[in-house]
Chains A and B, each alone.
Chain A
Amino acid sequence: MPNSPNGDLADTYRRYFPMILCKCSRILRGSGDAQDVAQETFIRLWQSQGLLRDPKAAVAWIYRTATNLAIDKLRADRFDAMPVEMKDEHADAEDISHARHYLRKLAETLSEEQMLVAVLSRVDGMNHREIGEVMGTSERTVRRVLEGLDGSLAKLRAKGEA
């Protein structure tokens, strides 16, 4: 690590922030919330200096933390009196709004573990081994949670909520 803390911070920002923002934008598309969550994730990463010694572990931590913070953000949408939506020139506004509404519905219904796995699997396209690495659990546990998730989604579809 360089001696200058500021230089170190700038290097860490340049290296990790673009991927954090990309990760957050996949869940919180089309809003300034992605930037907020990315900043919060980066600040937490910076405060957990030990993580930076192992870049692969740091990325796994980023995926877990950013996903949990984004889910919190989606749940906080329940208080949304006047929705904040940024126009995304590269995406259809209706699709974004629908996707966000869908994820928010899921966040209100699924358990924290199920929601984390749902995002990592369905939004980030990760396989069981990768999800296990992010969650710190075995592939078997991931499979079990995904099976439970399928069951929960089927129930939601039956109710017409998903």
Chain B
Amino acid sequence: MNSAKHPSFFALDQAVASGNISVTLQQHADACQQCRQHLARIQPAKGVEPAWVANLASQQARIVALVVPKRSLSTLVQWLVTFKYPLMLAVPAAAALLFLVRPSPRLGQGVDADPYVGVKSAGPMLWTYIRRSEKTFLWDGTAAVAPGDRIRLKVDPARLTFVSAFSRAEDGSWKLLWAGRSDGKNPLALPVAWEIDEQPGQERLLIVASRQELTAAERSDPGIVSNNQDRWSQALFLQKSGHASESSPANLDASGL
């Protein structure tokens, strides 16, 4: 788009976002098919928001519920003075209780861990996207997938620099779908997607992030990978819609998302 003839996409976007389309801009758009088409494309979306937006809303609702109501400083000081003696007893007691009941870290978890699609506070993270027809949404960990759906994974390996993705074959063996390096800093969207085939059952995937390349033994049976400082693995179970959960496992075809 030549700025000498047309307003830039940026100018058009700002005008629409601010709800302030000038007369000059409108007159140009009326006479210019290219600008008119762009304005039509960026008009506010209609209809129901996709699932990933709903997921974002539910995540936000959970966070809001956890936020402690704000108090003014004077109220807080008054509150501390009033409860200072109970607090002197309660704080050490709570610390001792926390020490006793603190859950053990998730080390040594095998591939039968629950499917994980959300966000952890620290350590590696995994997002599973499903593209169905023209829409892409974040998998919620329970929704069934359908033949033709395309699966795409994004991993934040949290300083681990090798990422591998496996699928479970019918005979129980693991097939390496993709392996590559990440920069160890930014989330890595695996540059491949897999299409769900029509075979009934469950798609079973295993994602491994590691500090070094996996050994030959780990590549042939990634189920032996234990979670520790140098290794992290996460299993995904995607149930196909309309099929029983105990049927045959994954059979994925590499395909474009």
> Could you list which residues of chain A lie within 8 angstroms of chain B, going by C-beta atoms?
5-6, 9-10, 13-19, 22-23, 26, 31-33, 35-36, 39, 43, 46, 55-56, 58-60, 62-63, 72-73, 76-77, 79-87, 120, 124-127, 130, 134
Contact = CB atoms under 8 A, between A and B. Distances in A.
Contacts of B191: 76-77, 79-84
Interface of B: 1-3, 6, 8-11, 13-14, 16-19, 38, 41-46, 49, 52-53, 56-57, 60-61, 64, 129, 131, 136, 138, 150, 152, 154, 178-182, 186, 188-189, 191-193, 254, 256-257
Contacts of A76: 188-189, 191
B179 to A, nearest CB: 8
B9 A125 contact: yes
Contact of A10 (B11, B19, B49): B49
29 contacts: A5-B64, A6-B57, A9-B57, A10-B53, A14-B46, A15-B44, A16-B17, A17-B45, A19-B13, A19-B16, A19-B42, A22-B42, A23-B13, A33-B189, A46-B56, A56-B18, A58-B17, A59-B10, A63-B13, A79-B181, A81-B179, A81-B191, A81-B192, A86-B257, A120-B10, A125-B2, A126-B8, A126-B9, A126-B10
Most buried by B among A22, A23, A35: A35
A55 B42 CA distance: 14
A130 to B, nearest CB: 5
Nearest to B46: A14
A63 B8 CA distance: 12
Given A39-B52, A76-B188, A130-B8, A6 B61 contact: yes
Contacts of A86: 256-257
Contacts of B182: 79
A32 B192 contact: no
Contacts of A36: 129, 136, 152, 154, 189
Residue from the set A77, A79, A87, A124 with the largest chain B CB neighbour count within 10 Å: A79
A87 B57 CA distance: 32
Given A10-B49, A10-B53, A86-B257, A22 B41 contact: yes
B40 to A, nearest CB: 10
Contacts of B56: 9, 43, 46
Contacts of A23: 9, 13
B18 A130 contact: no
A80 B178 CA distance: 10
Given A18-B45, A59-B14, A81-B178, 13 more contacts: A6-B60, A17-B45, A18-B44, A22-B41, A23-B9, A39-B52, A39-B138, A56-B17, A82-B191, A84-B256, A84-B257, A125-B8, A130-B8
Nearest to A54: B18
A126 B49 CA distance: 30
Contacts of B18: 55-56
Nearest to B54: A6
A9 B49 CA distance: 10
Contacts of B154: 36
A9 B186 CA distance: 26
A120 B181 CA distance: 29
A43 B57 CA distance: 11
A13 B45 contact: yes
A31 B193 CA distance: 11
A9 B21 CA distance: 24
A103 B155 CA distance: 24
B157 to A, nearest CB: 12
A124 B180 CA distance: 32
A73 B189 contact: yes
